[in-house]
Amino acid sequence: MQDGELHGLAFCGETFSPRNVFISIEKGIITEIVESNRSITQWIAPAFFNAHTHIADTVAMDTPVMGHSLADLVASPNGLKHRILRTTHDDHLSTAMRETMQFMHATGTTAFAEFREGGTHGVRLLQQTITPGIRPIIFGRDGGEFLADGLGLSCAKHHVADLAAIERARQLGKRIAIHAGEAGSKDIEDAFALDPDFIIHATYFEECHIREAADRGIPLVICPRSNWILGGTNTSFRPPVRKMIDLGCTLWLGTDNVMFIAPDMFSECAFLTTVYNTSPEETLSMATGGFSLLGHRGIIEEGEPANLICLDPGYIKEWTQSPTLSLVSRIGSHFVQLVC
């Protein structure tokens, strides 16, 4: 929607406060929000930013993995997913990525941060797989970072090639993102030493690491379902979400590998809220915070892009005592009517 007007219970501002309003949109920007006395028939939520994905893994969706370690499954260059990707034809890979992007958009995501394997060829393949309504921020590697929006490292080992790539990427103004603290803590200090723009997983961060991330303003991308399903944790204390929030970290939410987890941010929000006991406002902040990579805040406010999800809450709107909590823990993607 580039122009028009929406009416409903909108979750507005940085506090995601539910308000009965009219929202005017011109050229894709929210120009006015005014109070309404009309009966509410729909809810209007900010669209999601999925802050960590591997969507090429769609071609390996739900491959049986019982008995395999995390390294067996995803470690470069010979983990199971990499072997599958190497033997998949480009046309098949493009179709799989496009269909996952269509699913993501239909379930309320309008932008995502994608770690793309395959060097320059892999990045070009995704760039050519255009899907209306959803914007990938691509983090390449093995040379692909120079065509992409940034460099995405699978680990923080100080290989000469990685250090050279980081230096060149920085000279070109590219962002640097690094997986760290996913299965243990040995790589965390190495990750900080590389001065990344953000760190993914942080499952095994201790208080000293959390304070460093907060003090240096390095956002942390957490992927709760992925960490749980892949055995990175089986406790609500890892990642230490509550301590991260209390010590002032910037947290973003991602779904990780499509091979194992559906990139459905409503499901991710419900899991985070239930298992880690985050408030609905904290959850929504994490699910939209990655829009800062695109230069805006991802909230419903005048002057912000109209990235919006229109929902039919059904009987929930009659009975809920906390619409914001219902949004993140009870409303699912099947309630979505329209994604702007």
Q: What percent of the chain has pLDDT over 70?
A: 96
pTM of the full structure: 0.95
- Could you tell me if 73 and 158 lie in one domain? yes
Query: Which tokens hold the place of 78?
Result: 């010979």
Check which CATH number belongs to the domain holding 135 and give it: 3.20.20.140
Same-domain pairing of 150 and 24:
no
| 35 plus 63 within the same structural domain | no
- Residue spans of alpha helices (H) in 35-143: 70-74, 80-86, 90-106, 119-127
- pLDDT of 74 > 80? The answer is no
**Statement to judge: residues 142 and 275 lie in one domain:** yes
Kindly state whether residues 261 and 329 are assigned to the same domain: no
**CATH code where residue 332 lies:** 2.30.40.10
Full residue range of the structural domain in which residue 178 is found: 48-294
Average pLDDT over residues 129-135: 93
b/e sequence 185-222, b meaning 16+ C-beta within 10 Å: eebbeebbebebbbbbbbbbbeeebbeebbeeebbbbb
Supply the pLDDT for residue 253.
98
Using 50, 70 and 90 to split pLDDT, how confident is the model at 68?
A: low
Judgement on whether residues 183 and 196 belong to the same structural domain of the protein: yes
Separation of alpha carbons 43 and 110, rounded Å: 17
Q: CA separation (Å) from 74 to 60, 82, 188, 256, 294?
A: 11, 7, 19, 11, 28
Rounded Cα gap, residues 30 and 40, in angstroms? 20
Q: Do 105 and 175 have their domain in common? A: yes
Task: Please tell me the predicted confidence (pLDDT) of residue 161.
Answer: 66
Question: In total, how many domains does the chain have?
Answer: 2
> For the segment 227-257, what is each residue's pLDDT rounded down to a tens digit?
999 888 888 899 999 999 999 999 999 999 9
Same domain? 188 vs 306: no
The values of phi and psi at residue 322, to 5°, are: -150, 90
Record the tokens describing residue 308, joined without a space: 């919006």
Is the same domain home to 26 and 118?
A: no
